[in-house]
Amino acid sequence: MIKLIKCEYLKTRRRYILPVTLGITAMYLALLFYGEYSDDALRQGWWALLYQLPLLNTMFMPILCIVVASRLCGLEHKGATFKQLFTLTSKGSLFTAKLIYGLGIITVPILIQFAAIYIAGCYLGFGGVYPLNLYLIYLLSTLLTTYAIYVFQHCMSMLFKNQAVSFFVGIGGEFTGLFSMFLPQIPCLRKILIWGYYGDMQFVGNNWDRETRINDFYLMDINYAAFFIITTVAVLMYLIGKKLFTDKEV
């Protein structure tokens, strides 16, 4: 398996996948910290970010998954090299190696985002103590949801030669998940869509006073069941996708 993952790196090192992911991450962080911060915003900065991050994740992370999965899996489709590869390794091993390599790439920008938030918050002078325990929970929820979305995109990209199929399905899922973020009164939307789990696992709420225009952020109950559900869904998608790919004629 390690040799297969190394082969994936050698095949894709000139396709500039990592620089593209870092570029998307830079756009994400630029949008997150854009603008001037009032005294109230600085005072509640750590909590405000925990409230804003799930929405930005729903906007950017699915795109990141689409790009990485398409770039990694489209290589063999374009070159029609699957049959040659299957003389050297099994379909299941190739499917898994590509998935692990892609998940590794996806992990890098998430960790950069996590570190950049802490550095920027300290630089801007956010008030209060950095709530490390809450940010670790946020990091775990982001990783699990993004991994689940990437597994789905990986399966789509491996099964369909035309990468436009996986692109449009992924974009459709992203917009549906984004739509669910603005309908908290219909929680089932978030629970039935893997793209909605960024919002379903959100644990910081906001009371906004229209008259004073002051935000009051507060801690909500953490949906631990969602962590188990999204993990289970990701594993099931992997098993189903791997089975479909091994049974598929290429």
Predicted pLDDT of residue 208: 67
Mean pLDDT of 43-70: 90
| 134 vs 46: CA distance, rounded Å | 10
182: left (phi over 0), alpha (psi -120 to 50) or beta: alpha
Please report which confidence band the pLDDT of residue 89 belongs to, taking 50, 70 and 90 as the band edges: confident
What domain range is 209 assigned to? 2-247
* Closest to 61 in 3D by CA, of 105, 98, 93, 97: 105
What does the chain come to in residues? 250
Scanning the structure block, which residue is given the tokens 């990783």? Answer: 143
Instruction: Report pTM.
Output: 0.91
Q: Are 74 and 163 in contact (CB under 8 A)?
A: yes
Predicted confidence (pLDDT) at residue 124 exceeds the cutoff of 80: yes
Q: Is pLDDT of 169 > 80?
A: yes
Cβ proximity of 25 and 68 under 8 Å: no
Quote the CA–CA distance of 139 and 120 in Å, as a whole number.
17
Nearest to 150, CA basis, from 83, 210, 102, 184:
102
Q: Where are the alpha helices (H) located in the chain, listed in sequence order?
A: 2-12, 17-32, 39-43, 45-79, 82-85, 91-124, 132-159, 163-181, 188-192, 197-200, 224-247
> pLDDT grade, residue 109 (50/70/90)?
very high
Least confident of 77-86, 156-165, 229-238: 77-86
Is pLDDT of 181 > 70? yes
Asked if 19 contacts 107 with a C-beta cutoff of 8 angstroms, the reply is: no
Burial (Cβ within 10 Å: 0-12, 13-18, ≥19) of residue 57: buried
- Give the per-residue pLDDT at 77: 67
Number of domains in the chain: 1
- Please give the span between the terminal C-alpha atoms of the chain, in angstroms, as a whole number: 22
Q: Which residues pair with 216 in a beta bridge?
A: 207
